[in-house]
Chains A and B, each alone.
Chain A
């Protein structure tokens, strides 16, 4: 049976079932006394049969509608099924077509691969061609290079030929030079022989021993005649000069080289220092006198710069040594004496003044006492005692004696003061520095203004160079010299003093020139002596001015001298080291 019919049947059955169920319900609920059957086909309780009939109709219609719907659905499903089958068939057709297409594509790919392979083969063939072309080019270049080499080789050959020609010329020139050199050599040899002979003569002419000594074994390689002669007259030594004679055996009679501080070996010294050396040795000659020799040693170097020979000569300095010792001794003595003398001068000038104080003092006391005696005797009671002789004694003799004593004492004091000043001068420390001589002279002349005005002299000072000295002491020199110049002017003409300057041997030479009375030639050397005064009556002074100047200049390594034309002028020159 079809589904549609089943549905209609079912729906009607379901309506009938509802009828029964409703009747059952009514039975149990409302009508317990009635039969079930009765209830089912009656209209009890109210209209139930109608309702139940209606519902049965309703369900029967519903079943018809549903069956109809299902029939439609069935037809639609069958149609779908048909469609599906058609689709499946179409798909299979499509799949078959697709497979055909895939096969076609594979065929195309294979064809393509074949084409690619063909192209690669073509490319390879092309590369081969390019390579071949390059090889050809390279071969061509090689050929070109070969040609160039050949050309160069040809040029080389040409050049070689030229060189050979030049070498040939050189050889010719060389031969000529050799000939010239040979001639020179011959001349040189002649010259050398002459020089060698000359040298021998020179060496032999030396009046002192002269040796050439081997620096290693101390043997004498060469010696001059004097050395040979000396070997024969020395107490010590071998007295014979052979090839094997050593220097120490010859000059000292020793069997080993000299050593020690007393007899230092000059050869050892030169070898050690590689410099010339001088040492002193004491020898004893046949005259039994002790001699002192000065050994001069000079190195001769080999190619390696080592001393291999030594030139040695000796000087007999015995006399010189003695003179040196004497001089040193005398110098010491002189220094001591000078010191002693200075201290004597210093002490004496003090101690000598002491008695002078007494002489002067007491002579004055004496004069005063004498006056007292005189005035006492003038009193009435003693007047008779005053005779002519006593008056002469009191008025003339005693005062005169006292006057002379006083004058001499004063003179003595002045001399002692001078001496003291001079001795002090040597003891004062010098303060040497660069001196502005223009300023110095300006001060000196300024301080003497009164004296200069007094004698109406004119002093002219040129620009002066600077020198090295002690300001106060150099100033003292100029004060003394200007003072002298002013003192010894000639009164018959206006006084002129001129200070100038020149330079000589690293010294400034200052000149003080006056137009005074001048100095006689025989007196010129004496004016620098201590206490020497040319004309004591004419002027005051101690005679120390020029002595002082000379002493100061001695200490300055300077000097002073005078030039003078008597009656016309004097020029004092003062030389001081320049600054």
Chain B
């Protein structure tokens, strides 16, 4: 996995973020990991602040249930934005409602993982993300557009 890829975690729960980060690090991921507390902030920073994205690739880990702008809305807006549509998105959420899973896949999420309460399973899930990161090619965002 390339060094200049940043992992963005849209997660309103600080505890969840902490557990995600711990386990990503334990799985050997040493890229920069940033957290955004809600979807609005996430979107604003991605869409408005495009100066420092020249050399970077992004991977987004997205929670569905968030205040202000929910995960599905973030996905929709990303897919409508020609500059950001290629960002791989992993949905990591408590919701296992088949309807929402289907919507996320329709909107083109790369992976959908239900947050298991059972911690061992949770660790497994995060490791899956680690594996995913190591095999995919993350496109750079083209700032010319």
Asked whether A356 and B15 contact (CB < 8 A) given A351-B65, A361-B122, the answer is no
Q: How far is the CB of B28 from chain A (nearest CB, A)?
A: 18
- Whether a CB of chain B sits under 8 angstroms from the CB of A360 is yes
A365 to B20, CA, bound (A): 12
Partner of B115, one of A351, A357, A409: A357
Report the nearest A residue to B63, measured CB to CB. Answer: A354
- Whether a CB of chain A sits under 8 angstroms from the CB of B140 is no
Q: How far is the CB of A127 from chain B (nearest CB, A)?
A: 123
A361 to B122, CA, bound (A): 8
Interface string of B16-40 (1 = CB under 8 A from A): 1001001000000000000000000
Q: Which residues of B contact A354 (CB under 8 A)?
A: 13, 16, 65, 94, 115
Asked whether A357 and B65 contact (CB < 8 A) given A362-B15, A362-B19, A365-B22, the answer is no
Partner of B118, one of A355, A365, A410: A410
B94 and A360 form a contact (CB under 8 A): no
B119 and A356 form a contact (CB under 8 A): no
Interface string of A410-440 (1 = CB under 8 A from B): 1011000000000010000000000000000
A358 and B15 form a contact (CB under 8 A): yes
Asked whether A356 and B65 contact (CB < 8 A) given A361-B15, A362-B19, the answer is no
Q: Determine chain A's interface SS by DSSP, over half rule.
A: helix
B118 and A360 form a contact (CB under 8 A): yes
> Number of B interface residues, CB 8 Å?
15
- Whether a CB of chain B sits under 8 angstroms from the CB of A353 is yes
A409 and B65 form a contact (CB under 8 A): no
A356 and B117 form a contact (CB under 8 A): yes
Interface string of A399-413 (1 = CB under 8 A from B): 000000010011011
Asked whether A357 and B16 contact (CB < 8 A) given A350-B65, A410-B117, A410-B118, the answer is yes
B95 and A409 form a contact (CB under 8 A): no
Q: Which residues of B contact A424 (CB under 8 A)?
A: 97
Partner of A353, one of B19, B94, B97: B94
Q: How far is the CB of B114 from chain A (nearest CB, A)?
A: 9
A353 and B117 form a contact (CB under 8 A): yes
Most buried by B among A353, A410, A413: A353
A554 to B114, CA, bound (A): 31
Most buried by A among B15, B117, B118: B117
Q: Which residues of B contact A410 (CB under 8 A)?
A: 117-118
A358 to B115, CA, bound (A): 11
- Whether a CB of chain B sits under 8 angstroms from the CB of A364 is yes
Q: 12 pairs across A/B with beta carbons < 8 Å?
A: A350-B94, A357-B15, A357-B16, A358-B19, A360-B118, A361-B119, A361-B122, A362-B15, A363-B119, A365-B19, A412-B117, A413-B117
Known: A360-B119, A361-B16; 14 extra A-B contacts, CB below 8 A, are A350-B95, A353-B115, A354-B16, A354-B65, A354-B115, A357-B116, A358-B15, A358-B19, A361-B119, A361-B122, A362-B19, A406-B119, A412-B117, A424-B97
